[in-house]
Amino acid sequence: MIRKLRATWRRGAIIAGFAFCVPLHYLWKIFGARSPWPQIFLGYTGRRCGMRVRIEGTPLTAKVLYAANHVSWLDILAMGGAVPSIFVARADLTGIIRWASSLNDSIYITRDIRSSVKGQAGALRQGLEDGRAVCLFPEGTTNGGHDILPFRPSLLAALYPPIPGVMVQPVVIDFGPEVGDALWVGEESYELNARRLLERPGRLDVTLRFLAPVDPAEAGDRKALTARARAEVVAALPGAVPIAALPGSATASEAAADPL
């Protein structure tokens, strides 16, 4: 009963926060200003979910592509609350989640239609040319805690030819020994995962480790840049296990036949 009451209270607080932030977000938009309210709301929601975020390193806040490992949907709350980032998101989001994601100018990608990758890379490049900070999870999926799948190089084609002043910053999302509580993998639905996390007692500590930025021009090409970003994330994540894509998975197929 206590767990259910906790989840109900947290859910109500998140809804109230959303209702407070959205009108102010639109007010900023009306006056043509870049709205801080998505970042405020994501940080607030992360705290309501029990997260306490600690930042290590110095994050860039403009003209940067963050390349981060991916553990859970909580990653978006942690990153989005810490830095003024927009996100590369799945195009199959629907309903209120799609609408809420659009409030933060998300860049949508369709992972299973290979012919659309170049156009999606173009949308990502436009965001970077506009001076935005963009967060990409190059693994393409959540996996098993600190297991790190290969980073997909396809969308990093957006960085070539290099855009003046745009850097790639590898980011480690580290839930430490509590990573098992944060996981979202396998067949667990979003609803069940969210309910489990909202019912969870206590705090959930996460460290965002912003590593040294990499100049795409200096890195070489997109595949070399992708490999370098992954290697630096693996090296900076205690207990990280770099693994190959699972046989027969979408990640394995794309890694074997990446045309870009």
Please give the structure tokens belonging to residue 156.
């990093």
- How do residues 84-105 score in pLDDT, each as one tens digit? 999 988 777 777 888 888 888 8
Residue corresponding to tokens 């070489």: 220
Beta bridge partners of 52: 205
pTM: 0.88
Measured N-to-C along each axis, helices 37-48 and 74-82 cross at an angle, to the nearest 10 degrees, of 130
In this predicted structure, the answer to whether residue 15 has a pLDDT above a threshold of 80 is yes
Whole-number Å distance between alpha carbons of 88 and 155:
10
pLDDT band at 252 (very low <50, low <70, confident <90, very high): very low
Angle CA 179–185–188, to nearest 5: 120
Task: Evaluate whether 197 touches 50 at the Cβ level (below 8 Å).
Answer: yes
Cβ atoms of 138 and 156 closer than 8 Å: yes
Q: pLDDT digit string (tens) for 68-82?
A: 999 988 999 999 999
In terms of C-beta density within 10 A (0-12 exposed, 13-18 middle, 19 or more buried), how is residue 201 classed? exposed
Per-residue pLDDT tens for 218-230? 998 999 999 999 9
Cα gap 183→151, rounded to integer Å: 19
Instruction: Give the tens place of pLDDT for each residue, 174-214.
Output: 999 888 888 877 677 778 888 888 988 889 999 999 999 99
> Contact 43/80 with Cβ under 8 angstroms?
yes
Q: How far apart are CA 138 and CA 79, in angstroms?
A: 15
Beta strands, E only, 153-222: 167-174, 204-210
